[in-house]
Amino acid sequence: GVSPHHILGLTFTNKAAGEMKQRVAKLLGYDEPNANPLPFLGTFHSIANRILRREAERIGFNSNFLIYDTADSQALIKKILKKLQVDDKSITPSGILWAISSAKNELVGPEKYRSMASSRVQLVAADVYPIYQRELRQSKAMDFDDLIMELVKLLQNEHEVLERYQNQFKYILVDEYQDTNHSQYQLIKLLAAKHNNLCVVGDDWQSIYSWRGANYQNILNFESDYTSSKVIKLEQNYRSTQHILDAAHSVITKNLSRSQKKLWTDLGLGE
């Protein structure tokens, strides 16, 4: 009884998003998914891109802004490093981009980043970051991390825009919630704040992306963030035998900060 217009489903890869769309279309009995109304299903970045193109003028962009991929960003940073006469061979465009990307994932802008920088790479990144952002704007472009960061800033600063999207996305689903970083966490929190109809699927025991900003504490804190939430444990495993699950369990339970669960299977003990 809910309009597809009011449902938002978020995941991390284009492949997963495509699969979500196919599954939902199949559940609804659609032969031609593109010809029928589907919920808003996509990656964090694709959904942020759609919203920002609608609201572009509010953040000083045109709706046809460019999106820089990794190669574009590294080429720009290489140019800036040359301009700054940084000839340290250990300072690479990819290393500087990683530092800036990490800052954006934490919603840290150039000014704040400068006050936090300490290592040699961070200090150079602090010099590059504001120039990089200025050059992006002059090229009417954003990078992937800007898509989330700019949307969060927009929703924080423009109450009318926030309320509009809160009223549109009354029901929100997030897949692989253990892989969310700080900026994605804040985006979800802002959108879900009015109706609190939020369903997340995830497993802190499977969090392997801390190196790119993922924070498994987001899923561990879910019950305290949303005090009326209900936890449904999916403990049956369909892939492994019990010996494998018991061995894995013996290792993972050495983690001090973790959720409580015990996987089981009906495939038998196995070898």
- Confirm whether pTM is higher than 0.85: yes
**The dihedral sign for the CA sequence 162, 165, 170, 172:** negative
Integer Cα distance of 129 and 135 in angstroms: 10
Instruction: Look up tokens 């959108």; give the residue.
Output: 191
Report the half-sphere exposure of 155 (CA within 13 A, side-chain side): 26
Per-residue model confidence (pLDDT) at position 207: 84
What is the DSSP-derived secondary structure letter of residue 145? H
Could you give the C-alpha distances from 240 to 116, 255, 263, in angstroms and in order? 45, 22, 10
Per-residue model confidence (pLDDT) at position 33: 60
Per-residue model confidence (pLDDT) at position 236: 97
Per-residue model confidence (pLDDT) at position 230: 94
Determine contact, residues 32/64, Cβ cutoff 8 Å. no
**What is the full per-residue pLDDT of the chain (271 aa) written as tens digits?**
899 999 999 999 999 999 999 999 999 888 776 677 899 999 999 999 999 999 999 999 999 999 999 999 999 999 999 999 998 788 999 999 999 999 999 999 999 999 999 999 999 999 999 999 999 999 999 999 999 999 999 999 999 999 999 999 999 999 999 999 999 999 999 999 999 999 999 998 888 888 778 888 899 899 889 999 999 999 999 999 999 999 999 999 998 888 889 999 999 999 8
